[in-house]
């Protein structure tokens, strides 16, 4: 049965998945880029930028295999861009350039309607205004038997955790303190329940903890 999976959500050891004050100059919030420095030291991370080189090993393995068996993606509006409220126009097309790294249908949660945005490489951004379950239903249909990947931000992951819809949750715990921003496990009445840790491994840069729904 297809699953909803969360992969490589970087989190500081004080629980923050993004810094404060997201804007065009700080897409991950102020200081949030520190959470993802490990990504762009890997071979897979650099290839996402069209560059060569990078490290192999544990971190690269987790990045490289995160897309295995994935046929569609869901993300929150904050992950898609810094625009809030009604869409100001059609200029904003995401952070990723003309050829985003998804190469399949992406469903963006929003309260404001927007026409689909087709991109190079097979990515199309679709905008869903009728809630997280509707987005998941559309994503499973688009994935055609494959799994669906849930991206950020933190509030989007929280919504799906509260609804009990996430099957696998892969965290990348980075040994830094952010001190403020968006905490991944806020607003969950003490934290997610019904999951067990099925894998935990560390590199010098990050600890990878993989949780699965208890059967």
In whole angstroms, what is the distance from residue 193 CA to residue 162 CA?
9
Given a cut of 70, whether residue 90 has pLDDT beyond it is no
Length of the chain: 215
For the record, the structure tokens of 4 come out as 């909803």
Residues 109-137: tens digit of each pLDDT: 999 999 999 999 999 999 999 999 999 99
Average pLDDT over residues 42-59: 91
Average pLDDT over residues 172-196: 92
Average pLDDT over residues 167-176: 97
In whole angstroms, what is the distance from residue 47 CA to residue 202 CA?
22
Helix (H, G, I), strand (E, B) or coil at 125: strand
Q: What domains lie within the chain, and their CATH numbers?
A: 4-213 (3.40.430.10)
Given a cut of 80, whether residue 89 has pLDDT beyond it is no
Q: What's the pLDDT band for 22 if we cut at 50, 70, 90? A: confident
């Amino acid at each position: 049965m297809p699953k909803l999976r969360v992969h490589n959500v970087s989190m500081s050891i004080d629980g923050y998945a993004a810094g404060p004050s997201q804007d065009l100059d700080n897409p991950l919030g102020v200081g949030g880029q520190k959470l993802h420095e490990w990504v762009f030291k890997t071979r897979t991370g650099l290839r996402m930028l069209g560059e060569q080189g990078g490290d192999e090993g544990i971190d690269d393995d987790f990045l490289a295999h995160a897309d295995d068996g994935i046929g569609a993606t869901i993300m929150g509006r904050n992950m898609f861009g810094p625009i809030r409220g009604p869409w100001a126009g059609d200029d904003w097309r995401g952070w990723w350039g003309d050829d985003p790294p998804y190469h399949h249908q992406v469903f963006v949660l929003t309260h404001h309607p927007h026409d689909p945005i087709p991109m190079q490489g097979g990515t199309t951004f679709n905008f869903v205004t009728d809630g997280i379950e509707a987005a998941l239903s559309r994503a499973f249909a688009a994935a055609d038997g494959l799994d669906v990947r849930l991206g950020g931000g933190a509030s989007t992951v929280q919504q799906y955790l509260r609804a009990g819809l996430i099957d696998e949750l892969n965290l990348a715990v980075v040994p830094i303190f952010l001190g403020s921003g968006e905490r991944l496990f806020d607003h969950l009445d003490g934290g997610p329940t019904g999951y067990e840790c099925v894998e935990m491994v560390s590199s010098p840069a990050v600890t990878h903890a993989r949780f699965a729904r208890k059967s």
